Amino acid sequence: MTVKSDVQISPKHRSLWQRMRRYRLAYLLILPTFIAMMSVHFIPTVLAIYMSFLDLNQYTLGKFLHAPFVGLKNYRMIFGANNVLTAGLQYAARNTILYAIAVNIGTIGVGLILALLLNREFRWRGLARTLMLLPWVVPTYVVGMLWGMMWLRDRGIINIILVDWLHLLPQKPFWLIGRNTLLAIIIPTIWRQLPFNTIMLLSGLQQVPQDLMDAAAIDGASAFQRFRYVMIPYLKPIIAIILLWGMIFTFFGYNIVIMMFGNGGGFPGEWGDLLMPAIERQSFRYWLFGLGAAVSVLMMLAMMFFVWLWYMVFRTSLLQESAKEE
């Protein structure tokens, strides 16, 4: 009897307390996760925000949260016109934006092509799909080290292939010095992220009903039209997810750059520095923890803005997706 009434009254119309009682077990079950998430995510975030208002440096670190409160001083330092301690962050910001755009266009674009290829019937398809996954199992810091060796001008395999074997370039360029460094970090990142995107897109493609494609073909839709108007709508939610994930991954990119340039010791140069390595160097290695917290908070806000933007763009397709599942 009670069960029946429960079904009839939708959860929305009950008080919070009723719902709590109704789902007591469920809440109990998620409690450990909730506590863990609070302690590893929420509390550090709040602490970081508080730290960004403190003058926390190597001399006051012992006091930690009792360090002198300086209000917005750290933020003023970041936006101050001639602040020497934040010099170089603008290069890092420019590189990060270029890096994020290039890597995401690259991974989603090439990933889509590869997914379309792997979606076809061919003899070694299973093997090809497995091989495709390989770069993904390489940890990012190993990617940085490996490519750091491959990019070497005179003894790296890349110049040997490009110049000695294929004669694509007249002479061997430097990849780890100068403007090319940006390419030298973008390409390995695409290589590393491609498998994930390909697999995700492939799974999306397999949701496209074959009869829908057949029907479109019978109606006279060209191959491109079938791709554009039948496949893409199915892929949109997946593109949304991998774009979000890719933006976060690139925005907070660290390992590949750090390992490629001196295994954490050197300076990646004005065209190779990203925001995360720059922040780590110029706040944490300079022992300016308050400043570091302030920059981190700003990065978090920037990322939240992007997520909001992302949600506005993809809201309709995401809602359609959840509607479809219901």
Q: Which of 23, 165, 267, 305 binds other proteins (CB under 8 A)?
A: 267
Task: Tell me which of 19, 49, 73, 88 binds other proteins, using CB under 8 A.
Answer: 88
Q: Which of 48, 153, 230, 236 binds other proteins (CB under 8 A)?
A: 153
**Residue number, 85 or 302, with CB nearest to other proteins:** 85
Q: Does 319 bind other proteins (CB under 8 A)?
A: no
Provide the β-strand partners of residue 288: 57
Residues 24-43 that bind other proteins (CB under 8 A): none
For residue 232 the two structure tokens come to: 């893409």
The Cβ-side half-sphere exposure at 204, using a 13 Å CA radius, reads 27
161 binds other proteins (CB under 8 A): no
Specify burial of residue 135 (Cβ count, 10 A radius: 0-12, 13-18, 19+). middle
**Residue span binding other proteins (CB under 8 A) among the ranges 118-126, 148-156, 161-169, 217-225:** 148-156
Which of 100, 107, 311 lies closest to 199 in space, CA to CA?
107
Interaxial angle between packed helices 180-205 and 232-251, expressed in degrees from 0 to 180 and rounded to the nearest 10: 140
176 counts as binding other proteins under rule CB under 8 A:
yes
Residue 81 makes contact with other proteins by CB under 8 A? no
Specify the residue, 190 or 260, whose C-beta has the smaller distance to other proteins: 260
Q: Is the separation of the CB atoms in 111 and 194 below 8 Å?
A: yes
- Residues of 276-297 as b/e, b for ≥16 C-beta within 10 angstroms? bbbbbbbbeeeebbbbbbbbbb
Q: Is residue 139 involved in binding other proteins (CB under 8 A)? A: no
Residues 273-312 that bind other proteins (CB under 8 A): 281, 284-288
The helix (run of H) or strand (run of E) holding residue 188 is helix 180-205
Site for other proteins in 42-61 (CB under 8 A): 57-59, 61
User: Where does this chain bind other proteins (CB under 8 A)?
Assistant: 57-59, 61-62, 64, 84-85, 87-88, 148, 152-155, 174-179, 261-267, 269-271, 281, 284-288
